[in-house]
Structure 1
Amino acid sequence: MTDQQARELLKSSPQKAHRLIFDEYYNYVYTIVFNRLRSYASREDIDACVSDVFSDVFLHYSTDNGYSGDIKGFIAAIARNRSVDMFRKLRVRSVNTVPVDGEEALQLPSADKVDELAEKAETCHALLDAVKSLGEPDSYIIMQKYYYGRKSADIADKVGLKPEAVRKRLSRAMDKLKKILTDIGEGR
């Protein structure tokens, strides 16, 4: 189903358009959500997230909105965003809780957990500083590729390079980053 076909069907029969969009893109959305949440969420949470994606699609995709791109891209963006939201929600919910009379109460982390969290935060800051030290456009390319999950072609459009050049720069930047992190690790 193309974007134009979806918009035309949406004008004549919104319910039928929603059904066709759901039928055509359910597996696509489920794959995106599952791949982002599989190691962190239950099946019920993944199903709830997929439902939220289609709810957003049906609420925000209309014949008169300013969006003029491909419907598949629109759906993928919503699926990625909803997956991130669900991940954050689950992460907050999973912070050391214990049941109290059928309810969950927040438990203060132990000293070991605080040390572990502090070490993780320090490692994240060191990694981010190392990535920033690479300079532009290398740091931008690494962030877009590994933090946002963007493809080389998408990054290439943003930095004004060819996708092959982006991949080559990424490879070289990763080698530099590995050396920087090795030097940091030896300095400790």
Structure 2
Amino acid sequence: MQDQDLLELLRRTPEPAISTLMERYGGLVYAVVRRKLPEGVFCAADVEGCVADTFSEFYLDLDRYAPEKGSIRSWLCVIARNNALDLVRRRYREANILPLDERMMAENKESLLEGDWEERELRGRTLTAVKELGEPDREILLRKFYLGESSKEIAARLGLTAVNVDTRTHRAIGKLRKKLKEWGESM
């Protein structure tokens, strides 16, 4: 069954079409979600819920799907990845913990292998420089730029003022620039 046939079936008789969709792409969507949700933090129910949400979102937003931009397969993968990342962000915010332990830092470095060498090198050095900042600057930058938290949210979590968070962010970025520039000259 082609994508166009599946779309028509989804519009006419959704129940059997969703079953077909899940049979065809369930394993792929599960793999995408599982890859994004760290095993020690998320259980099988979290993964299954995220997979179900992906198919549900695909069906509910069927009008947003544009076949000329990509296949159903690719659209489902994008939805699955975004849902999984949203779940990760939500979980870490609720638990008030930072997801960048040593294992995740290593995973992020491995995923950089897909980019070009210079970008990998810069990201690796940036991660190293951020780790060397010390607390609370390290946590402020990671919460602000990795988790997307506002200065006000970070201030509340760390017992600082929003102005202090902004000042520390500005200074920490300056330190990072200086460190990266030093490393660039020594290369």
| TM-score (norm. length: structure 2) | 0.52
User: Is the Cα–Cα contact under 8 Å of residues 113 and 120 in structure 2 kept in the other structure?
Assistant: no
Structure 1 SS opposite 2:53: helix
Structure 2 SS opposite 1:41: coil
After superposition, the C-alpha distances for 1:13-68 in whole angstroms (9 at most, x for unaligned) are 22211110011111111100000003331222111111111110121125xx5612
Q: Structure 2: which amino acid aligns with 1:92?
A: R
Q: May I ask how many residue pairs the two structures share in their alignment?
A: 120
Distance of 1:151 and 1:30 partners within structure 2: 23
User: Is the Cα–Cα contact under 8 Å of residues 29 and 79 in structure 1 kept in the other structure?
Assistant: yes
Change (3 A) 1:36 1:177: closer
Q: Structure 1: which amino acid aligns with 2:73?
A: K
State the match for 1:81 in structure 2: 82
User: Is the Cα–Cα contact under 8 Å of residues 33 and 51 in structure 2 kept in the other structure?
Assistant: yes
Greater helix proportion: 2
State the match for 1:109 in structure 2: none
RMSD: 3.5
User: Is the Cα–Cα contact under 8 Å of residues 57 and 78 in structure 1 kept in the other structure?
Assistant: yes
User: Is the Cα–Cα contact under 8 Å of residues 2 and 70 in structure 1 kept in the other structure?
Assistant: no
State the match for 1:7 in structure 2: 7
Instruction: Give the gaps of 5 or more residues in structure 1.
Output: 97-116, 121-145, 153-166
User: Is the Cα–Cα contact under 8 Å of residues 41 and 90 in structure 1 kept in the other structure?
Assistant: no
State the match for 1:36 in structure 2: 36
Q: Structure 2: which amino acid aligns with 1:79?
A: A
After superposition, the C-alpha distances for 1:83-130 in whole angstroms (9 at most, x for unaligned) are 01110111122227xxxxxxxxxxxxxxxxxxxx7xx8xxxxxxxxxx
Matches within 5 A, 1:2-81: 2-39=2-39, 40-62=41-63, 65=64, 67-68=66-67, 69-81=70-82
Structure 2 SS opposite 1:38: coil
User: Is the Cα–Cα contact under 8 Å of residues 10 and 17 in structure 2 kept in the other structure?
Assistant: yes
Once the two structures are TM-superposed, the CA of residue 171 in structure 1 deviates from its matched residue by 1.2
State the match for 2:164 in structure 1: none
User: Is the Cα–Cα contact under 8 Å of residues 3 and 71 in structure 2 kept in the other structure?
Assistant: yes
Change (3 A) 1:10 1:38: same
Distance of 2:27 and 2:73 partners within structure 1: 12
Instruction: Give the gaps of 5 or more residues in structure 2.
Output: 101-107, 130-177, 183-187
State the match for 1:174 in structure 2: 120
Distance of 2:112 and 2:3 partners within structure 1: 22
Once the two structures are TM-superposed, the CA of residue 175 in structure 1 deviates from its matched residue by 4.1
Distance of 1:35 and 1:88 partners within structure 2: 15
Greater strand proportion: 1
Q: Structure 2: which amino acid aligns with 1:31?
A: A
Change (3 A) 1:95 1:18: same
Distance of 2:83 and 2:117 partners within structure 1: 30
User: Is the Cα–Cα contact under 8 Å of residues 2 and 71 in structure 1 kept in the other structure?
Assistant: no
